[in-house]
Amino acid sequence: MRRVNKDQKVRISLTLNGRKVSAETEPRTLLCDFLRHSLAATGTHVGCEHGVCGCCTVQIDGAAVRSCLTLAMQAEGRDVRTVESLAGPDGKLNKLQQAFQNNHALQCGFCTPGILMSFTDFLSRNPKPTEDELREVLSGHICRCTGYAGIMAALKEAVAAD
Protein backbone atom coordinates (compact mmCIF):
# COMPACT_ATOMS: atom_id res chain seq x y z
CA MET A 1 0.00 0.00 0.00
CA ARG A 2 1.28 3.46 -0.94
CA ARG A 3 1.19 5.89 2.03
CA VAL A 4 2.46 9.47 2.27
CA ASN A 5 2.12 11.78 5.27
CA LYS A 6 0.98 15.33 4.69
CA ASP A 7 4.32 16.90 5.68
CA GLN A 8 6.31 14.49 3.55
CA LYS A 9 7.68 15.29 0.11
CA VAL A 10 6.80 12.61 -2.38
CA ARG A 11 8.46 11.68 -5.67
CA ILE A 12 5.87 10.99 -8.34
CA SER A 13 6.75 9.27 -11.60
CA LEU A 14 4.48 9.07 -14.60
CA THR A 15 4.63 8.98 -18.39
CA LEU A 16 4.04 12.43 -19.86
CA ASN A 17 3.42 12.49 -23.62
CA GLY A 18 5.33 9.26 -24.07
CA ARG A 19 8.34 10.23 -21.91
CA LYS A 20 9.02 8.92 -18.40
CA VAL A 21 9.27 11.86 -15.99
CA SER A 22 9.34 12.34 -12.22
CA ALA A 23 9.43 15.18 -9.72
CA GLU A 24 9.05 15.85 -6.00
CA THR A 25 5.90 17.41 -4.64
CA GLU A 26 3.38 17.25 -1.77
CA PRO A 27 0.57 14.68 -1.53
CA ARG A 28 -2.02 17.47 -1.80
CA THR A 29 -0.72 18.73 -5.19
CA LEU A 30 -3.29 18.70 -7.98
CA LEU A 31 -2.28 17.09 -11.27
CA CYS A 32 -2.71 20.41 -13.14
CA ASP A 33 -0.26 22.13 -10.78
CA PHE A 34 2.14 19.20 -10.89
CA LEU A 35 2.21 19.41 -14.70
CA ARG A 36 2.72 23.16 -14.76
CA HIS A 37 4.94 23.81 -11.74
CA SER A 38 6.93 20.60 -11.33
CA LEU A 39 7.13 19.37 -14.92
CA ALA A 40 7.04 22.78 -16.71
CA ALA A 41 4.32 21.52 -19.04
CA THR A 42 2.38 24.78 -19.15
CA GLY A 43 0.17 23.90 -22.11
CA THR A 44 -2.47 22.72 -19.66
CA HIS A 45 -4.39 25.72 -18.33
CA VAL A 46 -6.06 26.11 -14.94
CA GLY A 47 -9.38 27.92 -14.72
CA CYS A 48 -12.07 27.34 -12.13
CA GLU A 49 -10.36 24.63 -10.04
CA HIS A 50 -13.62 22.84 -9.35
CA GLY A 51 -14.22 20.88 -12.51
CA VAL A 52 -16.65 23.19 -14.28
CA CYS A 53 -14.74 25.16 -16.93
CA GLY A 54 -12.83 22.30 -18.59
CA CYS A 55 -9.60 24.25 -19.32
CA CYS A 56 -7.43 21.78 -17.44
CA THR A 57 -8.69 18.65 -19.24
CA VAL A 58 -5.90 16.14 -19.95
CA GLN A 59 -5.90 12.43 -20.74
CA ILE A 60 -5.02 9.73 -18.24
CA ASP A 61 -4.62 6.34 -19.92
CA GLY A 62 -6.50 7.79 -22.89
CA ALA A 63 -9.53 9.11 -20.97
CA ALA A 64 -10.17 12.87 -20.90
CA VAL A 65 -10.40 14.02 -17.27
CA ARG A 66 -10.23 17.22 -15.23
CA SER A 67 -6.65 17.58 -13.96
CA CYS A 68 -7.88 20.06 -11.29
CA LEU A 69 -10.06 17.30 -9.79
CA THR A 70 -7.20 14.81 -9.89
CA LEU A 71 -4.34 14.55 -7.43
CA ALA A 72 -0.88 14.11 -8.91
CA MET A 73 -0.73 11.01 -6.65
CA GLN A 74 -3.66 9.52 -8.59
CA ALA A 75 -1.74 9.82 -11.86
CA GLU A 76 1.33 8.09 -10.43
CA GLY A 77 2.56 5.45 -12.88
CA ARG A 78 -0.13 6.39 -15.40
CA ASP A 79 0.09 7.52 -19.02
CA VAL A 80 -0.70 11.24 -19.06
CA ARG A 81 -1.19 13.16 -22.29
CA THR A 82 -1.49 16.91 -22.61
CA VAL A 83 -1.94 19.37 -25.48
CA GLU A 84 1.84 19.32 -25.98
CA SER A 85 1.49 15.81 -27.44
CA LEU A 86 -0.69 16.84 -30.38
CA ALA A 87 1.55 18.69 -32.84
CA GLY A 88 4.37 16.87 -34.66
CA PRO A 89 8.00 17.20 -33.54
CA ASP A 90 8.46 19.84 -36.27
CA GLY A 91 5.60 21.88 -34.80
CA LYS A 92 3.15 20.86 -37.54
CA LEU A 93 -0.41 21.05 -36.21
CA ASN A 94 -2.44 17.84 -36.24
CA LYS A 95 -5.75 17.58 -38.08
CA LEU A 96 -7.88 18.74 -35.16
CA GLN A 97 -5.58 21.67 -34.32
CA GLN A 98 -5.42 22.71 -37.99
CA ALA A 99 -9.23 22.66 -38.18
CA PHE A 100 -9.34 24.97 -35.13
CA GLN A 101 -6.97 27.39 -36.87
CA ASN A 102 -8.89 27.22 -40.16
CA ASN A 103 -12.21 28.04 -38.48
CA HIS A 104 -11.11 30.72 -35.99
CA ALA A 105 -12.16 28.33 -33.22
CA LEU A 106 -10.09 30.23 -30.68
CA GLN A 107 -9.42 33.82 -29.78
CA CYS A 108 -7.56 34.09 -26.47
CA GLY A 109 -6.88 30.34 -26.51
CA PHE A 110 -7.22 29.78 -22.77
CA CYS A 111 -9.87 27.06 -23.08
CA THR A 112 -8.42 25.45 -26.23
CA PRO A 113 -5.98 22.89 -24.71
CA GLY A 114 -8.79 21.32 -22.69
CA ILE A 115 -11.18 21.20 -25.64
CA LEU A 116 -8.54 19.59 -27.86
CA MET A 117 -7.79 16.90 -25.26
CA SER A 118 -11.50 16.12 -24.73
CA PHE A 119 -12.15 15.65 -28.43
CA THR A 120 -8.93 13.70 -28.99
CA ASP A 121 -10.39 11.14 -26.56
CA PHE A 122 -14.00 11.37 -27.76
CA LEU A 123 -13.25 11.21 -31.50
CA SER A 124 -10.98 8.21 -31.01
CA ARG A 125 -13.99 6.36 -29.54
CA ASN A 126 -16.60 7.89 -31.88
CA PRO A 127 -14.97 8.81 -35.20
CA LYS A 128 -18.33 9.69 -36.84
CA PRO A 129 -20.33 11.55 -34.20
CA THR A 130 -23.57 13.45 -34.75
CA GLU A 131 -23.71 17.21 -34.22
CA ASP A 132 -25.67 16.61 -30.99
CA GLU A 133 -22.93 14.33 -29.68
CA LEU A 134 -20.28 16.96 -30.46
CA ARG A 135 -22.34 19.60 -28.65
CA GLU A 136 -22.81 17.29 -25.66
CA VAL A 137 -19.04 16.83 -25.27
CA LEU A 138 -18.39 20.53 -25.88
CA SER A 139 -20.86 21.33 -23.08
CA GLY A 140 -18.10 20.20 -20.70
CA HIS A 141 -16.08 23.30 -21.64
CA ILE A 142 -16.55 27.02 -21.23
CA CYS A 143 -15.26 29.39 -23.93
CA ARG A 144 -15.82 33.10 -23.28
CA CYS A 145 -14.53 34.36 -26.66
CA THR A 146 -15.93 32.46 -29.60
CA GLY A 147 -19.61 31.83 -28.91
CA TYR A 148 -18.83 28.20 -29.84
CA ALA A 149 -19.84 28.55 -33.53
CA GLY A 150 -16.23 28.49 -34.72
CA ILE A 151 -15.47 25.53 -32.45
CA MET A 152 -18.41 23.56 -33.85
CA ALA A 153 -17.30 24.37 -37.41
CA ALA A 154 -13.76 23.18 -36.60
CA LEU A 155 -15.01 19.96 -35.03
CA LYS A 156 -17.19 19.20 -38.04
CA GLU A 157 -14.27 19.87 -40.40
CA ALA A 158 -12.02 17.55 -38.37
CA VAL A 159 -14.67 14.81 -38.42
CA ALA A 160 -15.27 15.20 -42.16
CA ALA A 161 -11.52 15.07 -42.87
CA ASP A 162 -11.23 11.62 -41.30
Partner 1 sequence: MKPRPFDYARPETIDEAVALLAEYGDEARILAGGQSLMAMMNLRLADPAVLIDIARVEEMSHIRDLGDKIEVGAAVTQNRLLAWPELKTKLPLLAVALPWVGHFQTRNKGTVCGSIAHADPSSEIPLSLATLEGEVVLRSKRGERVLKASDFQVDMLTTAREGDELIVAVRFPVKPGCRAAFREVARRHGDFAIVAVAATIDNNGTTRLGVGGMAGTPVVRAIADGNIKDTVEQMIAELEGYEDLHASAELRRDLLRNLAPVVVAEAQTCAA
* Total residue count of the chain as it appears in this document: 162
Nearer to partner 1, 6 or 92 (CB): 6
Binding partner 1 (rule: CB under 8 A), the pick from 14, 16, 25, 33 is 33
C-beta of residue 14 within 8 angstroms of C-beta of residue 32:
no
Asked if 43 is part of the footprint of partner 1 (rule: CB under 8 A), the reply reads no
How many whole angstroms separate alpha carbon 84 and alpha carbon 32?
14
In the complex, least distance from residue 64 CB atom to partner 1, rounded to whole angstroms: 5
In the complex, least distance from residue 71 CB atom to partner 1, rounded to whole angstroms: 7
Asked if 86 is part of the footprint of partner 1 (rule: CB under 8 A), the reply reads no
C-beta of residue 88 within 8 angstroms of C-beta of residue 150:
no
Asked if 68 is part of the footprint of partner 1 (rule: CB under 8 A), the reply reads yes
8-state DSSP, 60:
E
Q: How far apart are the first and last CA of the chain?
A: 44
Binding partner 1 (rule: CB under 8 A), the pick from 14, 16, 25, 30 is 30
